[in-house]
């Protein structure tokens, strides 16, 4: 083990140092200067791109030469985001996709628009998320956090996969959270119907589910083509953190990363050569990390499949009239493991 690797591991396990801007600044000195590859002609979709990590990722991909779709909740928010990027000197192609990710019909409309207006899709960043103080239901009757953070990206990923698989290439990135290390998958209560509703814990469990789904997608997709990864950005100074966890934000603010620092690994996963060589990993600061640090968070194979089946059912994938070659008869991806 090299000294750099030892320092990196110690930063990761101590959390406070590794997740803050301190950890980022220590690690970035070890990264190759040309690790981010140019992306001219490539098309990137970023959900939750109006601010924070999503906006920073959209900016980064555009500066690498990609055409970027900013997926936001309203046209006005999308227009404002484009203006902000133009004011920062971003001159690449930026397009706005309007979608309420808590509504399945809206997700389907977005997917249809994207597939109709672009001949290719190279990178999908499932970044949008919500943290609620109390239990709420979406328009489809699904618990709102699970609907937005888990079911919506699952559906969007499945609907956009044909554009990626047609070229036997592409990258899917699920933006998770370091908070998932303290939560296990509750396969028997995915919609948080039992017991006290703790918004932060429910959010962290949804982020755990995103990591599991990334691993399951990677297992089911043909090897050597589309890759699927999950990552966490560390503690970044974003409007979402400010609004949802004001107490933590106030205490941690001096150490928080900038949105650009938090989004760096998203850019690296979408553009660099190394992450395209494998699939199903969990990343932080350009390094693959363990998906579990505590024994009690580990889920069983049956629980993982229960999550997948629930997402298939809740997202309505069973209503697809045409079975595609990589799917089973119930609309889910078949396993290639």
User: What CA–CA distance (Å, rounded) separates 120 from 223?
Assistant: 20
The shares of helix, strand and coil residues in the chain, as percent rounded to the nearest 5, are 50, 10, 40
User: What CA–CA distance (Å, rounded) separates 67 from 99?
Assistant: 19
Decide if 19 is catalytic: no
Q: Dihedrals φ, ψ of 107, to 5°? A: -65, -40
Q: Do the beta carbons of residue 67 and residue 43 sit within 8 Å?
A: yes
| The pairing of beta strand 282-284 with beta strand 287-289 | antiparallel
User: What CA–CA distance (Å, rounded) separates 239 from 233?
Assistant: 14
Q: Do the beta carbons of residue 45 and residue 125 sit within 8 Å?
A: yes
Q: How many CA atoms lie within 13 A of 203 on its CB side?
A: 19
End-to-end Cα, the chain, rounded Å: 31
Q: Do the beta carbons of residue 269 and residue 215 sit within 8 Å?
A: no
Q: What angle do CA 309, 312, 315 make, to 5 degrees?
A: 140
H or E, element range at 22: helix 21-28
Catalytic residue among 19, 24, 181, 203: 203
Measured in whole angstroms, the distance separating CA 255 from the mean position of its chain's CA atoms is: 23
Residue numbers annotated as active site: 203
């Amino acid at each position: 083990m090299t000294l750099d690797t030892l320092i990196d591991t110690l930063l990761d396990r101590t959390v406070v140092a590794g997740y803050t801007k301190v950890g980022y600044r220590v690690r970035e000195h070890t990264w190759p200067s040309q690790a981010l590859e140019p992306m001219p002609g490539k098309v990137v979709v970023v959900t939750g791109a109006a601010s924070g990590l999503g906006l920073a990722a959209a900016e980064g991909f555009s500066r690498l030469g990609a055409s970027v779709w900013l997926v936001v909740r309203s046209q006005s928010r999308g227009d404002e985001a484009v203006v902000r990027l133009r004011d920062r000197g971003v001159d690449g192609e930026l397009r706005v996709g309007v979608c309420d990710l808590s509504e399945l019909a809206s997700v389907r409309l977005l997917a249809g628009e994207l597939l109709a207006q672009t001949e290719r899709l190279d990178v999908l960043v499932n970044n949008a998320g919500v943290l609620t103080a109390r239990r709420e239901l979406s328009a489809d009757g699904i618990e709102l956090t699970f609907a937005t953070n888990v079911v919506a990206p699952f559906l969007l990923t499945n609907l956009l996969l044909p554009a990626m698989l047609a070229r036997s290439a592409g990258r899917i990135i699920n933006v998770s959270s370091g908070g998932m290390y303290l939560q296990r998958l509750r396969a028997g209560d995915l919609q948080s119907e039992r017991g006290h509703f703790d918004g932060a814990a429910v959010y962290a469990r949804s982020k755990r589910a995103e990591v599991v789904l990334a691993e399951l997608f990677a297992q089911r997709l043909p090897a050597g083509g589309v890759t699927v990864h999950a990552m966490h950005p560390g503690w970044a100074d974003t409007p979402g953190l400010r609004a949802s966890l004001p107490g933590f934000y106030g205490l941690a603010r001096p150490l928080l990363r900038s949105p650009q620092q938090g989004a760096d690994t998203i850019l690296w996963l979408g553009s660099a050569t190394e992450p395209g060589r494998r699939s199903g990993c969990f990343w932080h600061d350009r390094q693959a990390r363990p998906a579990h640090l505590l024994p009690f968070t580990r889920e069983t194979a049956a629980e993982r499949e229960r999550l997948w089946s629930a997402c298939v059912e809740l997202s309505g994938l069973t209503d697809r009239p045409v079975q595609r070659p990589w799917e089973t008869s119930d609309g889910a991806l078949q396993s290639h493991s």
